[in-house]
Amino acid sequence: MEDYKHIKIKLLLLIVVLLSVFSLVIFYYEKNNIKNEINKKHNILRKNIDKTFNTLLDDLKITTSKRIDAMLAHNDYLIVKKFANKDREALYKASKMRYDSIKLSNEFLKIMTFRLSDGTTFLRVHKPEMYGDKLNQKRKIIVDTNLLQTRHFGFEVGKLKMTYRVVVPIFYKDKYIGLIEVGIEPEYVMERINKIYNLKNALLIKKDMKSVSMNKNKLKIIEKDYYLARGDDLFKRYSDKIVFNIEHNHITDNGEEYHIDSNLNLLDHKKRIAAKLLLAYDTTDNIKEFNQLLKINIIRIVLLVLLILIVLNISFNYFINKIIEETKKNIQNEKQLLESSKMVSMGEMIGNIAHQWRQPLSVISSASTSMIVEKQLDILDDDTLYKTCNAINDNAQYLSHTIEDFKNFIKGDREKENIELTNIINSFLNLVQGTIKNNNIDLIIELDNDIKFNGYPNELIQCFINIFNNSKDAYANSDKKKMIIIKTSIENDKVVIIFKDNAGGIPQDVLPKIFEPYFTTKHQSQGTGLGLNMTYNLIVDGMNGDIKAQNKEYTYENNKYIGAEFKITLPLS
């Protein structure tokens, strides 16, 4: 019962480990599923923001271009003529009204500048007092527009700040005379995105984009190559934690969780990164939802594991009780079979003992009668008295020894003892001596007299009797010489006991089945088929040993014989 409990505990522990591993896998899988769902929402949001950003820029580009074209074409190209004549004051008066009108529709339009074909600033409509400076080398969009005389669009840092530039070349009488540049602050896009998606944002400018208005010593540096120009204070507080090009950049601020997205790039007119628009998604609700779902899944997994363990425990208890019940039945059946087999053996042995006792009883009877007659005739001398008494005593001791072996055998105690193998074999021989004589069997004994080990004497004797009976039955109705060889030895720290006969061997189709229960080649009235099966169980299960049977051809006293060999192997200690 204790063994089964230990087995149950070990199995339950193994199942707990397996279920724990399974639970971790499920937990990891569910966690990734939840995380993937949240990331999917973020990806959809980011795609929508990208789409909104590009739509806003395209709309800004188209709308601003149309307004510039309309302004230049107004009143029969009056502004173009004033610019061609280099009449700064007249140009300012003509363009100021149009500039103010465009600003009313776009409050983030901050810059409108007319530049000559060599890059010289002719008029800043937003700051008319500032003119005459050249930007040939500093302002790439100006240089490329003058060079290519085509429109250009893109983000660039000017004398004042980073803006989105729309640069349109101006021609008068088919001659290129300069350009007009309009600048719109990135807030035009930033505030609209923030209003639509309720995000925090910030503008990062690349270090190589220079502006005289930017005091770089006071600006936060992000990822070495960018200045934090302006934006929400969140980015200033955690500027050192912002990392580009990682999938999940999280910031925790006063208990609020934010996901930082740095993938929105502001491109110059050559599609190079001029700045970045940092976005902070408020993921607090998503994190709470994630943690809540995670808790629910953990509770589900724990409850499932507990339910499985309870069911398994109940199942184990049920099956273990069944096994114990069946085991007890089998043990009881085996005991009954063993007793039945012993009763059969006892019947044979009683007959053998009766046969063995005839001679010593006859000697005792004759000796005692002879002494009485001699005494009556007054011819009984001391020498005859002693010899006769000794003979009576010797035969009585023989009878006593025989009955002691018989008593030990039928007692059936299963106690492990330190035994001498030679004594066990001698006890066995005393029990079957009558059968050996009745069947005219020659017994050849080759014993190692120093073999001692822990074992079960009665069970071992029962095994020897079963093997002996198998050989004896094989000689039935045979007139040839009958021989049984018993040999003992120690091999590789194991006790080896060999029984060998010369009855011709066991048929090959029978040999693999001889240790099976109820298998017999004899008629049902002559045997149950349990003797060798019982022997196998006693040796293998009861003594942790082994027994094998094979047909063997061997030579003894220059004669060749064929017979069955049973080899028993037992642990020495």
Q: How confident is the model at residue 355 (pLDDT cuts 50, 70, 90)?
A: low
Tell me the two tokens of residue 421: 């193998």
Residue 455 · residue 419 · CB < 8 Å: yes
Q: Give me the pLDDT at residue 216, please.
A: 53
The per-residue pLDDT for range 92-115, each reduced to its tens digit, is 999 999 999 989 989 999 899 999
Average pLDDT over residues 410-430: 80
Mean pLDDT of the chain: 82
Using alpha carbons, select from 78, 83, 88 the residue that is nearest to residue 169. Answer: 83
Reply yes or no on whether the pLDDT at 274 is more than 50. yes
How confident is the model over 164-193, as a mean pLDDT?
93
Which candidate, 531, 409, 404, 559, places its Cα nearest to that of 472?
531
pLDDT at 82: 93
DSSP string, 207-227: TTS--TT--GGGSEEETTTEE
pLDDT digit string, tens, across residues 112-129: 999 999 889 999 999 999
Look at residue 479 in the predicted model and tell me its pLDDT: 80
Question: In percent, how much of the chain has pLDDT > 70?
Answer: 85
Report pLDDT for 371: 85
Q: Which tens digits make up the pLDDT trace of 62-89?
A: 999 999 999 999 887 899 999 999 999 9
Structure tokens that stand for 196 in this block: 């639509």
**Percent of the chain as helix, strand, coil, to the nearest 5:** 55, 25, 20
Check residue 299 and give its pLDDT: 84
Q: Which pLDDT tens digit goes with each residue over 16-29? A: 788 778 777 777 77
Q: What are phi and psi of 133, to 5 degrees?
A: -80, 150
For residue 162, pLDDT beyond 90: no
pLDDT at residue 486 in the model: 95
- Which is nearest to 544 in space by CA: 573, 570, 505? 570
Q: 333-571, what's its fold?
A: Heat Shock Protein 90 (3.30.565)
pLDDT for 328? 78
| Confidence at residue 341, expressed as pLDDT on a 0 to 100 scale | 62
Mean pLDDT along residues 264-275: 91
Task: Report the chain's terminal Cα–Cα distance, integer Å.
Answer: 26
Answer for the pair 428, 464: CB distance below 8 angstroms, yes or no.
yes
User: In the prediction, which pLDDT does 524 show?
Assistant: 40
Give me the pLDDT at residue 332, please.
76
Strand locations in 1-120, DSSP E? 109-116
Distance CA 244, CA 253 (A): 19
Angle between helices 2-84 and 284-376 (to 10 degrees): 160
Q: Is the pLDDT of residue 217 over 60?
A: no
In this predicted structure, what is the pLDDT of residue 253? 85
DSSP lists the bridge partners of residue 156 as 163
Residue 246 has a pLDDT of 63
Q: What per-residue confidence (pLDDT) applies to 4?
A: 62
58 or 329, which is more confident: 58
* Contact between residue 455 and residue 570 where contact means Cβ atoms under 8 Å apart: yes
Cα–Cα distance measured from residue 342 to residue 463, given in angstroms and rounded to the nearest whole number: 11
Residue 108: count of CB within 10 angstroms of its CB:
18
Helix (H, G, I), strand (E, B) or coil at 425: helix
Handedness of CA 497, 500, 506, 508 (dihedral sign): positive
Amino acid letter, residue 491 = E
Give the confidence band of 219 by pLDDT, cuts at 50, 70, 90.
low
- Calculate the dihedral angle through the C-alpha atoms of 136, 140, 142, 147, rounding to the nearest 10 degrees: 80
pLDDT digits (tens, 9 = 90+) for 450-500: 899 888 888 888 889 889 988 888 887 778 889 999 999 999 989 999 999
Q: Is the pLDDT of residue 212 over 60?
A: no
Q: CB count, 10 Å around CB of 289?
A: 14
Q: Could you give the CA distance from residue 431 to residue 208 in angstroms, rounded to a whole number?
A: 112
pLDDT of residue 224: 77
Counting runs of H as helices and runs of E as strands, what totals does the chain give? 11, 18
For residues 330 and 318, what is the distance between their CA atoms, to the nearest angstrom?
18
Encode pLDDT of 505-528 as tens digits: 999 988 888 888 766 655 443 444
- Summarised one tens digit per residue, pLDDT across range 516-572 is 876 665 544 344 456 788 889 889 988 899 999 999 999 988 999 999 999 999 998
338 vs 172: which has the higher pLDDT: 172
CA distances from 305 to 12, 316, 452 (A): 12, 16, 54
